[in-house]
Structure 1
């Protein structure tokens, strides 16, 4: 296993070494051009672009699509770039089921993010190379791949969350914060009823695993989760204007407060669903009090849109693994959980050994009723003979085993998000959703010999010795691939 990148710069170097990063030396315009490069990279599955020269911003650079492929995810974990998704998932689960790794606090003199400090009248977001990510966005977005750091004032729990942030003016940002999110709950439970400002810090250009932790719906606090994933403590440093601690090796830190009684307009923005769904509206507003950054700082850009970008890939990955943990903790005989990034993390595919009746409904109720539930609205349950990572097998099971009358179960008036393209304007406004279970299991009371149809496939209807003979002789038959695949 290779070394695990501890910051954004080590990560870029690792990607260049494996051929998963392209260094762009010509000047790139922050106005649409950089965003267009990143969007095309996501749609083609191309290497991540590191843009060395930004128009109007000498000394700054852009790094786009940081974790938009499974190869890059493997590299971020110090694994072989060619690792399979099940292998990556197994490693993630092993690390997150291990011993908690507490963060360490370092002196500001040892924190690269403190190399440049802007306070008072020097604070100006326009000094940063904030990109216009999509043509038609409501503004330039500071935060697309970052962590917004907050702390609950009573419980003391720290949250790193990825909440988009649009630059409204030189000292103001705004963004969408859903009521069911950790920050949304902290605001509605404590700060807003009291009319108090909520301290925040936005960390941009994190290590890839810190950014992964900020996306993950894990119950483990993000600083500790990052340490578990990195196999070493994350380095934190105290902010300049509040008591929050931020990743010391981040490229850029923006400090300030969330205003309790003042909102500015934000949006629209190209979103992870592949649509621009939520219009311009008055949203959560961030007042900026300080900016610190590294020398030759790099701003990271995630370009949300049609699959596959970081939002879809990472949430599909982490949501699936966290649900698998939940189901296993309840004794459900699951064989795996997967969300294809192409579903924009809206469909959860669960493999299970169907040993008793009603297991699919039990899975759906646990999934939709959990903290993860608002992020997806479809659960498909297949048996343990179906490869959940093989879309052809999953789609075949869905089309042939899901009884239209008995296999489809709709749950109405559930929690949704304002970003669902299929939702009505009313449902978007009030986060009202609906959810559906597709039960693709054969009924347990069917006789396995007479009632359950036989699957006619290469790996199911031929003896093992015949399968092995055909696979081993595949090249000799004249087929160019060398070996047959399942």
Structure 2
């Protein structure tokens, strides 16, 4: 967990990002301009000064969760954590700068992020699970001035890559939570937001309140366009390339349900709405390595895929029977038939 602070001390940011050992006394890592750490780093560069910095390992779970949540800029994560846990975060001052770190952190590395010096970093598999050998980028050097630690410290390890690992469970869940807040604050009839872990933080699923949707009198195109602008234009939306809209009969946390809805209800072209005016986080593999690389080209496409029938937007009769019916064992056969089959399951030669 990285901690940086604006030159005037009015904003302290806690965030999750990677770091690579550069040499005996320094690291190198991404400082992406659109992310909070990049915004604050630019403030220090404008002053022609290096940025004070701390890197903490083994922080409280609430701290690492909120550090992975795209809360609004100029909001201190410590305040947010305190609101969640109901008590202040206990912090202590670093040895070599004025940054304050969690008092019960296992290990703390402190120093400065250079405003002028860069070095090659990467490659790394990252949260998407793909590595491009020989590919690296120049990022700022993090110079280490001190390392402090508890007695017999524990160094937590996250093996970034194919799902499911902590990038997906921490980052994906917390982005989804913030997206839900953004949607509901905008008056959109969204009941739930979720990031399927298997999507590697590339798919976010929004469950629509059909009663509110019908009452609004909107149509598929207008609604999906509004959802896209609200979400993609928000801070958490920058991390999201693909949104899936589903109805109330689909469980957003069940990937099989989501795939079924997309496969059977999302008509190619007609139910897909592209947005080219918003950027994508450059860590998405196809952004820089796709057929048409998007880095620096301005073609930062995002998409809303509506996995709903057009009739769900109006008062007309739906195209399928609602309720418990589905083309499945549970939905197609009476309860007494289901019970008889289950009671004789082993006799049919099947295991439990």
CA offsets per residue over residues 249-286 of structure 1, 9 Å max, x none? 00111111111111122111121101114822221211
Supply the distance in 1 between the matched residues of 2:56 and 2:337 (Cα, whole angstroms): 51
Supply the distance in 1 between the matched residues of 2:341 and 2:100 (Cα, whole angstroms): 59
Q: How far is 1:204 from its partner? A: 0.9
Aligned match of 2:78: 223
Superposed counterparts of 1:177-192, under 5 Å: 177-188=31-42, 190-192=43-45
Supply the distance in 1 between the matched residues of 2:324 and 2:282 (Cα, whole angstroms): 45
Aligned match of 2:183: 327
Aligned match of 2:249: 385
Q: What SS does the corresponding residue of 1:296 show, helix, strand or coil? A: coil
Supply the distance in 2 between the matched residues of 1:235 and 1:257 (Cα, whole angstroms): 23
Supply the distance in 2 between the matched residues of 1:457 and 1:435 (Cα, whole angstroms): 33
Residue of 330, 340, 350 corresponding to 2:196: 340
Aligned match of 2:350: none
Supply the distance in 1 between the matched residues of 2:170 and 2:340 (Cα, whole angstroms): 36
Q: What SS does the corresponding residue of 1:199 show, helix, strand or coil? A: strand
TM-score of the superposition, structure 2-length normalised? 0.85
Residue of 421, 428, 443 corresponding to 2:310: 443
Residue 298, structure 1, aligned to residue 154, structure 2 = yes
TM-score of the superposition, structure 1-length normalised? 0.63
Residue 280, structure 1, aligned to residue 146, structure 2 = no
The question of whether the paired residues in 2 share the 8 Å contact of 1:377 and 1:435 is answered with yes
Supply the distance in 1 between the matched residues of 2:335 and 2:186 (Cα, whole angstroms): 42
CA offsets per residue over residues 343-396 of structure 1, 9 Å max, x none? 111111111123232222211211111001221100111112222222222222
Aligned match of 1:422: 286
Q: What SS does the corresponding residue of 2:262 show, helix, strand or coil? A: helix
Aligned match of 1:434: 301
Residue 373, structure 1, aligned to residue 237, structure 2 = yes
Q: What SS does the corresponding residue of 1:335 show, helix, strand or coil? A: strand
Q: How far is 1:218 from its partner? A: 2.3
The question of whether the paired residues in 2 share the 8 Å contact of 1:251 and 1:293 is answered with yes
CA offsets per residue over residues 398-448 of structure 1, 9 Å max, x none? 122212232111122531222221124553467862101101222256663
Aligned match of 1:253: 108
Q: How far is 1:175 from its partner? A: 0.3
Supply the distance in 1 between the matched residues of 2:77 and 2:321 (Cα, whole angstroms): 44
CA offsets per residue over residues 67-114 of structure 1, 9 Å max, x none? xxxxxxxxxxxxxxxxxxxxxxxxxxxxxxxxxxxxxxxxxxxxxxxx
CA RMSD of aligned residues (A): 2.8
Supply the distance in 2 between the matched residues of 1:471 and 1:241 (Cα, whole angstroms): 73
Superposed counterparts of 1:451-470, under 5 Å: 452-455=318-321, 458-459=324-325, 469-470=335-336
Residue of 88, 103, 107 corresponding to 1:233: 88
Aligned match of 2:349: none
Q: How far is 1:226 from its partner? A: 2.5
The question of whether the paired residues in 1 share the 8 Å contact of 2:92 and 2:100 is answered with yes
The question of whether the paired residues in 1 share the 8 Å contact of 2:93 and 2:101 is answered with yes
The question of whether the paired residues in 1 share the 8 Å contact of 2:186 and 2:230 is answered with no
